[in-house]
Structure 1
Amino acid sequence: MKLCTIFIIVWFTFGFSLTMFAQKVERVEPLCWWTGMRTELQLMLYGQNLKDAGVKVLQPGMTVKTVHNAESPNYLFVDMAVEKAGNYTIEITQGHKKTKVNYEIHNRRPGSESRVGLTLADVIYLIMPDRFANGDTSNDIVKGSTQILDRNGLESRHGGDIQGIIDHLDYMADLGVTALWSTPLLEDNQFYHQYAISDYYRIDPHFGTNELYCEMVAEAHRKGLKIVQDIVPNHCGSGHWWMKDLPFTDWVNHFDTFTQSNYALQAYSDTHASKVDRMLCGHGWFVESLPDMNLSNPYTLKYLTQMAVWWIEYANLDALRVDTYFYMGYEGAQWTKSIRNEYPNMEFVGEVWGNDPGIISYWLGDRPKHDGFASHLPKAMDFPLERSLVMGLSNDNEAWGGSTKAIYNTIAQDFLYEDAMNSLVVFADNHDIDRIYNMLGKDIRKVKMAMSFIITTRGLPQIYYGTELLFADDPRGGAHKCRMDFPGGWEGDTINLFKPEYRNAQQQEMFDHVRKLLHFRKSTPVVYNGKLMHYVPKNNIYTYFRYNDSECVMVLLNGASQSQTIGWNQFEERLQGMKAGYEILSGQQITKGEKIEIESNSSLVIYFKTTK
Structure 2
Amino acid sequence: MKKNWWKESVVYQIYPRSFKDSNGDGIGDIPGIIEKLDYLKELGVNVLWISPMLESPQDDNGYDISDYRRVYKEYGTMEDYEKLLEEAHKRGIKILMDLVVNHTSDEHNWFIESRKSKDNPYRDYYIWREPVNGKEPNNWGSVFGGPAWEYDPQTEMYYLHLFSRKQPDLNWENEKVRQEVYDMMNFWCEKGIDGFRMDVISMISKDQSYPDGKMNGGLYGDFGPYCVHGPRIHEFLQEMNREVLSRYDVMTVGETSGVTIEDAQKYAGEDRNELNMVFQFEHVEDQGSDHGKWTTEKYDFQEFKKVMIKWQEELAGKAWNSLFLGNHDQPRSVSRFGNDNPAYRETSAKMLATCLHMMQGTPYVYQGEELGMTNAYFTELKDYRDIESIQYFHEYTEAGIYTPEYMMKCLMLRGRDNARTPMQWEDSYQAGFTEGTPWIRVNSNYKEINAKQQLSDPDSIFHYYQKLIRLRKEKPVIVYGVFEALYRDHDQIFAYTRTLEGEKLLTVCNFSEHVAEMEIPEEFQKNAECLITNLGRKDFGKKVILKPYEAFVLYRNL
- Provide the TM-score with structure 1 as the length reference: 0.64
Out of 444, 458, 479, the residue aligned to residue 360 of structure 2 is 458
Equivalence for 1:529: 480
Equivalence for 1:323: 199
How far residue 381 of structure 1 moved from its aligned partner, in angstroms, is 0.7
How far residue 193 of structure 1 moved from its aligned partner, in angstroms, is 1.5
Equivalence for 1:38: none
How far residue 185 of structure 1 moved from its aligned partner, in angstroms, is 0.6
How far residue 364 of structure 1 moved from its aligned partner, in angstroms, is 4.0
Q: Is the 8 A contact 2:110 2:122 kept in 1?
A: no
Equivalence for 1:201: 69
Cα distance change on mapping 1:333 and 1:260 into 2, 3 Å = farther
The 3-state SS of whatever aligns with 1:215 is helix
1:235 and 2:103 are equivalent in the alignment? yes
How far residue 263 of structure 1 moved from its aligned partner, in angstroms, is 7.4
Give me the whole-angstrom Cα distance separating, in 2, the residues matched to 1:128 and 1:413.
27
Give me the whole-angstrom Cα distance separating, in 1, the residues matched to 2:141 and 2:530.
48
Cα distance change on mapping 1:136 and 1:331 into 2, 3 Å = farther
How far residue 366 of structure 1 moved from its aligned partner, in angstroms, is 6.9
Cα distance change on mapping 1:526 and 1:418 into 2, 3 Å = closer
Equivalence for 2:188: 311
The 3-state SS of whatever aligns with 1:245 is helix
Cα distance change on mapping 1:608 and 1:518 into 2, 3 Å = same
Q: Is the 8 A contact 1:488 1:498 kept in 2?
A: no
The 3-state SS of whatever aligns with 2:435 is coil
Out of 51, 55, 61, the residue aligned to residue 183 of structure 1 is 51
Equivalence for 1:376: 274
1:347 and 2:284 are equivalent in the alignment? no
The 3-state SS of whatever aligns with 1:230 is strand
Give me the whole-angstrom Cα distance separating, in 1, the residues matched to 2:12 and 2:139.
30
Q: Is the 8 A contact 1:340 1:346 kept in 2?
A: no
Equivalence for 1:551: 503
Out of 247, 251, 254, the residue aligned to residue 125 of structure 2 is 251
Cα distance change on mapping 1:597 and 1:583 into 2, 3 Å = farther
Deviates more, 1:240-249 or 1:177-186: 240-249
Deviates more, 1:292-301 or 1:579-588: 579-588
How far residue 335 of structure 1 moved from its aligned partner, in angstroms, is 4.2
Q: Is the 8 A contact 2:454 2:460 kept in 1?
A: no
Cα distance change on mapping 1:354 and 1:559 into 2, 3 Å = same
Cα distance change on mapping 1:366 and 1:586 into 2, 3 Å = closer
Give me the whole-angstrom Cα distance separating, in 2, the residues matched to 1:435 and 1:546.
28
Give me the whole-angstrom Cα distance separating, in 1, the residues matched to 2:486 and 2:477.
19
The 3-state SS of whatever aligns with 2:464 is helix
Give me the whole-angstrom Cα distance separating, in 2, the residues matched to 1:295 and 1:603.
47
The 3-state SS of whatever aligns with 1:290 is coil
How far residue 192 of structure 1 moved from its aligned partner, in angstroms, is 6.6
The 3-state SS of whatever aligns with 1:200 is strand
Cα distance change on mapping 1:466 and 1:259 into 2, 3 Å = farther
1:298 and 2:298 are equivalent in the alignment? no
Equivalence for 1:431: 328
Cα distance change on mapping 1:605 and 1:196 into 2, 3 Å = same
Residue type of the alignment partner of 1:536: Y
Deviations 1:487-535 (A, max 9, x none): 3232379969764337898x97322322221222222222112221222
Q: Is the 8 A contact 2:499 2:505 kept in 1?
A: yes
Deviates more, 1:557-566 or 1:353-362: 353-362
% identity of equivalent residues: 24
Higher relative contact order (CA 8 A, sep 6+): 2
Residue type of the alignment partner of 1:519: R
How far residue 405 of structure 1 moved from its aligned partner, in angstroms, is 6.3
The 3-state SS of whatever aligns with 1:462 is strand
Residue type of the alignment partner of 1:324: V
Out of 491, 494, 504, the residue aligned to residue 435 of structure 2 is 491
Give me the whole-angstrom Cα distance separating, in 1, the residues matched to 2:30 and 2:280.
28
Q: Is the 8 A contact 1:260 1:285 kept in 2?
A: no
Residue type of the alignment partner of 2:305: I
Equivalence for 1:213: 81
Point out the structure with max Rg over C-alpha: 1
Residue type of the alignment partner of 2:40: M
Out of 418, 435, 445, the residue aligned to residue 481 of structure 1 is 418
Residue type of the alignment partner of 1:454: L
Equivalence for 1:145: none
1:402 and 2:300 are equivalent in the alignment? yes
Q: Is the 8 A contact 1:386 1:427 kept in 2?
A: no
Cα distance change on mapping 1:523 and 1:583 into 2, 3 Å = closer
How far residue 463 of structure 1 moved from its aligned partner, in angstroms, is 1.2
The 3-state SS of whatever aligns with 2:283 is helix
How far residue 594 of structure 1 moved from its aligned partner, in angstroms, is 5.0
Cα distance change on mapping 1:431 and 1:388 into 2, 3 Å = same
Out of 3, 8, 13, the residue aligned to residue 126 of structure 1 is 13
Cα distance change on mapping 1:159 and 1:606 into 2, 3 Å = same
Deviations 1:366-425 (A, max 9, x none): 77xxxxxx7823311131234599x9xxxxxxxx983456414542355654746x5221
Cα distance change on mapping 1:455 and 1:297 into 2, 3 Å = same
Cα distance change on mapping 1:334 and 1:200 into 2, 3 Å = farther
Q: Is the 8 A contact 2:234 2:267 kept in 1?
A: no
Residue type of the alignment partner of 1:450: L
How far residue 262 of structure 1 moved from its aligned partner, in angstroms, is 4.1
Cα distance change on mapping 1:261 and 1:549 into 2, 3 Å = farther
Give me the whole-angstrom Cα distance separating, in 2, the residues matched to 1:510 and 1:465.
13
Q: Is the 8 A contact 1:251 1:300 kept in 2?
A: yes
The 3-state SS of whatever aligns with 1:542 is strand
Give me the whole-angstrom Cα distance separating, in 1, the residues matched to 2:200 and 2:139.
12
**Structure 1: gaps of 5 or more residues:** 1-115, 141-157, 266-281, 368-373, 392-399
- RMSD value, Cα: 3.6
Give me the whole-angstrom Cα distance separating, in 2, the residues matched to 1:447 and 1:492.
30
**Number of equivalenced pairs:** 438
Cα distance change on mapping 1:302 and 1:118 into 2, 3 Å = farther
Mapping of 1:463-612 within 5 angstroms?
Answer: 463-476=365-378, 477=411, 478-486=415-423, 487-491=431-435, 499-501=451-453, 509-537=460-488, 538=490, 540-569=492-521, 572=523, 579-585=527-533, 593=541, 595-610=543-558
Deviations 1:541-600 (A, max 9, x none): 22211221222221001234433444234x54xx59x72312423696968755544222
Give me the whole-angstrom Cα distance separating, in 1, the residues matched to 2:266 and 2:510.
33
The 3-state SS of whatever aligns with 1:557 is strand
Residue type of the alignment partner of 1:333: H
